[in-house]
Amino acid sequence: MSLPANRRAGATGPQRPSAVIGVSLKMYFGYERTLEYCREVATIAFAHPAVQSGDIELFVLPTLPVLPEAARILGTAGAAAGAQDIFWEDEGAFTGEVGGKTVAELGGRYAEVGHAERRRIFGEDDRVIGLKTAAAYRNGLTPVLCVGELQQGSVEEAVTRCTAEIDAALNRAQSLGPAARTIVAYEPQWAIGAPEPATPQYISAVIAGLDAHLRTLPGQADSRVIYGGSAGPGLISQLDPAVAGLFLGRFAHDPRALKTILDEAAERLGLLEPRLLEPVGGRA
Ligand SMILES: O=C[C@H](O)COP(=O)(O)O
Protein backbone atom coordinates (compact mmCIF):
# COMPACT_ATOMS: atom_id res chain seq x y z
CA MET A 1 0.00 0.00 0.00
CA SER A 2 1.41 3.40 -0.98
CA LEU A 3 1.16 6.36 1.34
CA PRO A 4 -0.46 9.64 0.24
CA ALA A 5 1.87 12.58 -0.27
CA ASN A 6 1.20 14.21 3.10
CA ARG A 7 2.19 11.04 4.98
CA ARG A 8 5.40 10.09 3.15
CA ALA A 9 8.66 10.36 5.06
CA GLY A 10 10.03 13.85 4.75
CA ALA A 11 6.72 15.36 3.71
CA THR A 12 6.15 18.81 5.10
CA GLY A 13 2.94 20.21 6.49
CA PRO A 14 0.45 18.73 8.94
CA GLN A 15 0.28 14.97 9.19
CA ARG A 16 -3.40 14.31 9.16
CA PRO A 17 -5.49 11.29 8.18
CA SER A 18 -6.41 11.53 4.54
CA ALA A 19 -10.02 10.52 5.03
CA VAL A 20 -12.45 10.77 7.91
CA ILE A 21 -15.42 8.41 8.12
CA GLY A 22 -17.83 8.87 11.03
CA VAL A 23 -21.08 7.15 11.90
CA SER A 24 -23.80 8.48 14.21
CA LEU A 25 -26.24 5.82 15.33
CA LYS A 26 -28.55 8.55 16.68
CA MET A 27 -31.19 6.71 18.77
CA TYR A 28 -31.83 3.97 16.22
CA PHE A 29 -30.25 1.02 18.06
CA GLY A 30 -30.71 -0.23 21.64
CA TYR A 31 -27.90 -1.46 23.86
CA GLU A 32 -27.40 -4.99 22.52
CA ARG A 33 -27.76 -4.08 18.87
CA THR A 34 -25.27 -1.26 19.28
CA LEU A 35 -22.77 -3.65 20.83
CA GLU A 36 -23.26 -6.11 18.01
CA TYR A 37 -22.80 -3.31 15.46
CA CYS A 38 -19.59 -2.12 17.12
CA ARG A 39 -18.19 -5.65 17.13
CA GLU A 40 -18.91 -6.00 13.42
CA VAL A 41 -17.40 -2.59 12.66
CA ALA A 42 -14.34 -3.50 14.74
CA THR A 43 -13.87 -6.69 12.73
CA ILE A 44 -14.04 -4.69 9.50
CA ALA A 45 -11.73 -1.96 10.82
CA PHE A 46 -9.17 -4.46 12.11
CA ALA A 47 -8.93 -6.07 8.67
CA HIS A 48 -8.87 -2.79 6.75
CA PRO A 49 -5.38 -1.67 5.70
CA ALA A 50 -6.29 2.01 5.39
CA VAL A 51 -7.81 2.11 8.88
CA GLN A 52 -4.84 0.24 10.30
CA SER A 53 -2.35 2.56 8.59
CA GLY A 54 -4.17 5.64 9.91
CA ASP A 55 -5.01 6.87 6.43
CA ILE A 56 -8.69 6.57 7.29
CA GLU A 57 -9.89 7.95 10.61
CA LEU A 58 -12.97 5.94 11.62
CA PHE A 59 -15.30 6.72 14.50
CA VAL A 60 -18.76 5.70 15.70
CA LEU A 61 -21.05 7.76 17.92
CA PRO A 62 -23.32 5.27 19.70
CA THR A 63 -26.17 5.85 22.11
CA LEU A 64 -24.44 7.12 25.24
CA PRO A 65 -24.89 4.17 27.65
CA VAL A 66 -22.93 1.96 25.25
CA LEU A 67 -20.01 4.38 25.00
CA PRO A 68 -17.55 2.65 27.39
CA GLU A 69 -17.94 -0.74 25.71
CA ALA A 70 -18.04 0.78 22.23
CA ALA A 71 -14.84 2.71 22.92
CA ARG A 72 -13.12 -0.44 24.16
CA ILE A 73 -14.30 -2.62 21.24
CA LEU A 74 -13.53 -0.06 18.53
CA GLY A 75 -10.31 1.03 20.20
CA THR A 76 -8.81 -2.44 19.86
CA ALA A 77 -9.39 -2.19 16.10
CA GLY A 78 -7.88 1.21 15.37
CA ALA A 79 -11.23 3.01 15.39
CA ALA A 80 -12.79 5.22 18.06
CA ALA A 81 -16.06 6.22 19.67
CA GLY A 82 -17.64 9.40 20.95
CA ALA A 83 -20.79 11.09 22.16
CA GLN A 84 -23.64 12.50 20.10
CA ASP A 85 -23.87 15.49 22.43
CA ILE A 86 -22.26 16.93 25.57
CA PHE A 87 -23.27 19.57 28.06
CA TRP A 88 -21.28 22.82 28.14
CA GLU A 89 -20.26 22.53 31.79
CA ASP A 90 -18.07 19.72 33.08
CA GLU A 91 -19.83 19.07 36.40
CA GLY A 92 -22.42 20.50 38.76
CA ALA A 93 -26.16 20.78 39.32
CA PHE A 94 -27.30 20.04 35.77
CA THR A 95 -29.81 17.22 36.15
CA GLY A 96 -29.83 14.73 33.32
CA GLU A 97 -26.87 16.18 31.44
CA VAL A 98 -23.54 14.50 30.66
CA GLY A 99 -20.38 16.56 30.46
CA GLY A 100 -17.39 16.19 28.21
CA LYS A 101 -15.23 15.29 31.18
CA THR A 102 -17.32 12.16 31.77
CA VAL A 103 -17.39 11.32 28.06
CA ALA A 104 -13.57 11.45 28.04
CA GLU A 105 -13.41 9.30 31.19
CA LEU A 106 -15.65 6.74 29.43
CA GLY A 107 -13.20 6.48 26.55
CA GLY A 108 -14.92 8.83 24.14
CA ARG A 109 -12.67 10.76 21.77
CA TYR A 110 -15.26 12.76 19.83
CA ALA A 111 -18.20 14.96 20.79
CA GLU A 112 -20.81 15.85 18.21
CA VAL A 113 -22.17 19.36 18.66
CA GLY A 114 -24.86 21.29 16.85
CA HIS A 115 -26.56 18.50 14.94
CA ALA A 116 -29.63 19.70 13.04
CA GLU A 117 -31.83 17.58 15.30
CA ARG A 118 -30.36 19.24 18.40
CA ARG A 119 -30.90 22.65 16.84
CA ARG A 120 -34.47 21.90 15.71
CA ILE A 121 -35.89 19.63 18.44
CA PHE A 122 -33.95 20.90 21.46
CA GLY A 123 -33.65 24.54 20.43
CA GLU A 124 -29.86 24.71 20.49
CA ASP A 125 -28.52 27.95 19.06
CA ASP A 126 -25.10 29.23 18.05
CA ARG A 127 -24.35 30.33 21.62
CA VAL A 128 -25.02 26.86 23.06
CA ILE A 129 -23.12 25.18 20.24
CA GLY A 130 -20.13 27.45 20.85
CA LEU A 131 -20.17 26.59 24.55
CA LYS A 132 -20.34 22.88 23.77
CA THR A 133 -17.50 23.21 21.27
CA ALA A 134 -15.43 24.83 24.00
CA ALA A 135 -16.32 21.98 26.37
CA ALA A 136 -15.12 19.47 23.79
CA TYR A 137 -11.75 21.23 23.35
CA ARG A 138 -11.35 21.63 27.12
CA ASN A 139 -11.79 17.90 27.66
CA GLY A 140 -9.55 16.72 24.84
CA LEU A 141 -12.46 15.63 22.65
CA THR A 142 -12.54 16.37 18.94
CA PRO A 143 -15.74 18.28 18.24
CA VAL A 144 -17.78 17.09 15.29
CA LEU A 145 -19.35 20.46 14.57
CA CYS A 146 -22.47 20.09 12.45
CA VAL A 147 -23.50 22.95 10.20
CA GLY A 148 -25.96 23.16 7.34
CA GLU A 149 -28.56 25.27 5.64
CA LEU A 150 -32.25 24.70 6.25
CA GLN A 151 -33.50 24.71 2.68
CA GLN A 152 -31.95 23.99 -0.65
CA GLY A 153 -30.67 27.10 -2.40
CA SER A 154 -27.49 28.21 -4.11
CA VAL A 155 -23.96 27.11 -3.24
CA GLU A 156 -23.13 30.68 -2.25
CA GLU A 157 -26.06 30.85 0.17
CA ALA A 158 -25.05 27.57 1.76
CA VAL A 159 -21.42 28.65 2.15
CA THR A 160 -22.48 31.96 3.70
CA ARG A 161 -24.83 30.29 6.18
CA CYS A 162 -22.41 27.51 7.15
CA THR A 163 -19.41 29.82 7.40
CA ALA A 164 -21.41 31.95 9.83
CA GLU A 165 -22.26 28.86 11.89
CA ILE A 166 -18.62 27.76 11.96
CA ASP A 167 -17.45 31.23 12.97
CA ALA A 168 -20.11 31.56 15.67
CA ALA A 169 -19.09 28.27 17.27
CA LEU A 170 -15.34 28.69 16.96
CA ASN A 171 -15.25 32.35 17.98
CA ARG A 172 -17.20 31.63 21.15
CA ALA A 173 -15.13 28.54 21.89
CA GLN A 174 -11.88 30.45 21.38
CA SER A 175 -13.05 33.20 23.70
CA LEU A 176 -13.21 30.56 26.44
CA GLY A 177 -10.00 28.63 25.87
CA PRO A 178 -7.59 27.27 23.30
CA ALA A 179 -9.09 25.74 20.18
CA ALA A 180 -7.92 22.48 18.69
CA ARG A 181 -8.64 20.23 15.75
CA THR A 182 -12.26 20.27 14.63
CA ILE A 183 -14.20 18.03 12.29
CA VAL A 184 -16.84 20.10 10.56
CA ALA A 185 -19.75 17.97 9.36
CA TYR A 186 -21.52 19.80 6.55
CA GLU A 187 -25.06 18.47 6.67
CA PRO A 188 -27.65 20.35 4.61
CA GLN A 189 -30.73 19.97 6.77
CA TRP A 190 -32.91 19.19 3.76
CA ALA A 191 -30.72 16.19 2.92
CA ILE A 192 -30.85 14.58 6.40
CA GLY A 193 -33.21 11.61 6.55
CA ALA A 194 -33.91 11.97 2.83
CA PRO A 195 -33.92 9.21 0.22
CA GLU A 196 -30.83 10.66 -1.49
CA PRO A 197 -27.92 12.91 -0.56
CA ALA A 198 -27.28 16.31 -2.13
CA THR A 199 -25.63 16.06 -5.53
CA PRO A 200 -21.87 15.46 -5.62
CA GLN A 201 -21.36 18.76 -7.46
CA TYR A 202 -23.24 20.71 -4.82
CA ILE A 203 -21.51 18.96 -1.91
CA SER A 204 -18.08 19.49 -3.47
CA ALA A 205 -18.69 23.17 -4.19
CA VAL A 206 -20.03 23.98 -0.71
CA ILE A 207 -17.29 22.06 1.07
CA ALA A 208 -14.59 23.66 -1.08
CA GLY A 209 -15.83 26.99 0.28
CA LEU A 210 -16.02 25.79 3.88
CA ASP A 211 -12.62 24.10 3.76
CA ALA A 212 -11.00 27.22 2.31
CA HIS A 213 -12.53 29.27 5.12
CA LEU A 214 -11.46 26.80 7.80
CA ARG A 215 -7.85 27.00 6.54
CA THR A 216 -7.84 30.73 7.33
CA LEU A 217 -8.77 30.23 10.98
CA PRO A 218 -6.13 30.02 13.72
CA GLY A 219 -5.47 26.57 15.15
CA GLN A 220 -7.48 24.77 12.46
CA ALA A 221 -4.71 23.51 10.17
CA ASP A 222 -5.54 19.88 10.94
CA SER A 223 -9.30 20.36 10.79
CA ARG A 224 -11.37 18.70 8.09
CA VAL A 225 -14.79 19.07 6.51
CA ILE A 226 -16.90 15.99 5.86
CA TYR A 227 -20.35 15.53 4.34
CA GLY A 228 -23.46 14.06 5.98
CA GLY A 229 -27.07 13.72 4.91
CA SER A 230 -28.25 10.43 3.39
CA ALA A 231 -24.68 9.53 2.44
CA GLY A 232 -24.01 5.91 1.57
CA PRO A 233 -22.06 3.64 -0.73
CA GLY A 234 -21.16 5.15 -4.08
CA LEU A 235 -20.99 8.77 -2.95
CA ILE A 236 -17.44 9.45 -1.80
CA SER A 237 -15.90 8.43 -5.12
CA GLN A 238 -17.83 11.25 -6.79
CA LEU A 239 -16.66 14.01 -4.42
CA ASP A 240 -13.81 16.46 -4.88
CA PRO A 241 -10.71 16.18 -2.65
CA ALA A 242 -11.76 19.09 -0.39
CA VAL A 243 -14.40 16.73 0.98
CA ALA A 244 -12.39 14.83 3.57
CA GLY A 245 -14.94 12.11 4.16
CA LEU A 246 -18.47 11.27 5.24
CA PHE A 247 -20.63 11.51 8.31
CA LEU A 248 -22.97 8.57 7.96
CA GLY A 249 -26.38 7.78 9.37
CA ARG A 250 -28.92 5.22 8.19
CA PHE A 251 -26.95 4.02 5.20
CA ALA A 252 -24.16 2.73 7.45
CA HIS A 253 -26.50 0.63 9.60
CA ASP A 254 -25.50 -2.38 7.55
CA PRO A 255 -21.81 -2.94 8.40
CA ARG A 256 -21.26 -4.30 4.89
CA ALA A 257 -22.23 -0.89 3.51
CA LEU A 258 -19.70 0.73 5.83
CA LYS A 259 -17.05 -1.70 4.58
CA THR A 260 -17.87 -0.70 1.01
CA ILE A 261 -17.54 2.99 1.93
CA LEU A 262 -14.16 2.38 3.59
CA ASP A 263 -13.01 0.61 0.43
CA GLU A 264 -14.24 3.48 -1.72
CA ALA A 265 -12.46 5.99 0.53
CA ALA A 266 -9.25 3.97 0.28
CA GLU A 267 -9.63 3.67 -3.47
CA ARG A 268 -10.11 7.43 -3.74
CA LEU A 269 -6.81 7.91 -1.87
CA GLY A 270 -5.10 5.55 -4.27
CA LEU A 271 -4.62 2.99 -1.52
CA LEU A 272 -6.79 0.25 -2.97
CA GLU A 273 -7.17 -0.95 -6.51
CA PRO A 274 -10.74 -0.60 -7.84
CA ARG A 275 -10.65 -4.20 -9.02
CA LEU A 276 -10.34 -5.33 -5.39
CA LEU A 277 -13.62 -3.71 -4.48
CA GLU A 278 -16.57 -5.93 -3.76
CA PRO A 279 -19.96 -5.10 -5.28
CA VAL A 280 -21.50 -2.05 -3.66
CA GLY A 281 -24.01 -3.12 -1.01
CA GLY A 282 -27.53 -1.75 -1.15
CA ARG A 283 -28.79 1.00 1.11
CA ALA A 284 -29.84 -0.34 4.52
O1 LIG B 1 -25.77 12.24 11.82
C2 LIG B 1 -25.92 11.86 10.68
C3 LIG B 1 -26.65 12.61 9.72
O4 LIG B 1 -27.66 13.40 10.27
C5 LIG B 1 -27.08 11.86 8.50
O6 LIG B 1 -28.14 10.99 8.76
P7 LIG B 1 -28.79 10.20 7.53
O8 LIG B 1 -27.67 9.70 6.70
O9 LIG B 1 -29.58 9.10 8.15
O10 LIG B 1 -29.61 11.19 6.77
Domains and CATH numbers, the chain: 1-84+231-284 (no CATH), 85-191 (3.20.20.70)
Query: In this predicted complex, what is the ipTM?
Result: 0.99
Q: In a mutational test of the pocket of ligand 1, which residue from 21, 23, 25, 26 has the highest number of ligand atoms less than 8 Å from its CB?
A: 26
Q: Is 230 in the pocket of ligand 1 (CB under 6 A)?
A: yes
**Contact predicate 116/148, CB 8 Å:** yes
- pLDDT score at 19: 97
Ligand 1 centroid distance, CA of 228 (Å) = 6
CA dihedral 276, 272, 259, 200 (to 10 degrees): -110
Q: Which tens digits make up the pLDDT trace of 111-144?
A: 999 999 999 999 999 999 999 999 999 999 999 9
Whether 253 is catalytic: no
Strands, E assignment, the chain? 19-24, 56-61, 80-83, 110-113, 142-147, 183-186, 224-228, 245-248
Ligand 1 centroid distance, CA of 236 (Å) = 15
**Contact predicate 252/236, CB 8 Å:** no
Asked if pLDDT for residue 16 goes beyond 90, the answer is no
Give the C-alpha distances (Å, rounded to integers) separating 281 from 22, 50, 191, 248, 260. 18, 20, 21, 15, 7
Ligand 1 centroid distance, CA of 194 (Å) = 9
- State the first-to-last Cα distance of the chain, in angstroms, to the nearest integer: 30
